[in-house]
Structure 1
Amino acid sequence: MIGYVWHQEDRILEVSPVGKLTAEDFQLLAAQIDPIIRKQGRIVGLLVNATDFVGWESLVAMISHFRFIRDHQRHIRRIAVISDSPILRFMPSLACHFISAEVRPFPVGESAQALEWLEKPG
């Protein structure tokens, strides 16, 4: 399951993956984000609270995740990833080579700082 909440009048989306993610999770997330992107052209930021991320239910779910990233990354200016996992904290440095959004990791407990970074112009 992916929980979500919008901040700043649909300018920043906070997502919280919980448990093993399914392909349907990304279809539901796309159904939430796509109308906003069509209306605004893009969103300012994506805050990924990955503290409870445990992986994917199947290979199909993982591929759905990668497709979601491919299809949406050019419509997001910045991405903040909150996690204390060494692997997830490393992913933003790798991701910046494949996506156009600026990506930055934040440790657990710094959600406010991550949101503040996403809100900054630039």
Structure 2
Amino acid sequence: MIDHQWHLSHTVLEVKPLGPLTAEDFQSLQAQVDPVISEHGRLSGLLINAQDFSGWESFAALVSHCRFVRDHHKHIHKIAVVSDEPLLGYMPRLVDHFVSAEVRPFSSVEFKRALAWLGEAG
């Protein structure tokens, strides 16, 4: 399951995985994101709160995740990854080659700083 919460007047979406991700999670997320992108043209930011990332429930879930990224990355200006997991700290450098958004890692104590960065113009 993916919990989500809007910040900064529906311009920044926080997503928080709660257990292994499923294909249905990305369908639900798309239903939340697409209307905002249609109305505003893009999201200012996506905050991935990955404190408890447990991976994917199945290969189909991983494929759904990849499709979601492929279909939406051009409509997201910045991505902040919040996690204390050392491996996830390297993720922004890896995905930076595949997405058009600017991606930065933040530790859990920097949550407010990550949200502020996502809200900055630029």
| 1:82 partner letter | V
Which ranges of structure 1 fall in alignment gaps of 5 or more residues?
none
Cα deviation, residue 119, structure 1 = 0.9
Cα deviation, residue 88, structure 1 = 1.0
Runs of 4+ in 1 over 4 A off after TM superposition: none
Distance 1:87 1:68 in 2: 22
1 or 2, which has the higher strand percentage?
1
Percent pairwise identity: 57
Distance 2:85 2:107 in 1: 9
What is the TM-score when the length of structure 2 is the normalising length? 0.98
What is the TM-score when the length of structure 1 is the normalising length? 0.98
Distance 2:18 2:109 in 1: 17
Match of 2:31 in 1: 31
Q: What are the within-5 Å matches in structure 2 for residues 59-98 of structure 1?
A: 59-98=59-98
Distance 1:29 1:115 in 2: 19
The reply on whether 1:12 has 2:12 as its aligned counterpart is: yes
Q: What are the within-5 Å matches in structure 2 for residues 104-115 of structure 1?
A: 104-115=104-115
Which ranges of structure 2 fall in alignment gaps of 5 or more residues?
none
| 2:43 partner letter | I
Distance 1:101 1:53 in 2: 21
Distance 1:110 1:51 in 2: 12
Cα deviation, residue 58, structure 1 = 0.2
Aligned residue pairs, count: 122
Match of 2:117 in 1: 117
Distance 2:98 2:41 in 1: 21
Match of 1:22 in 2: 22
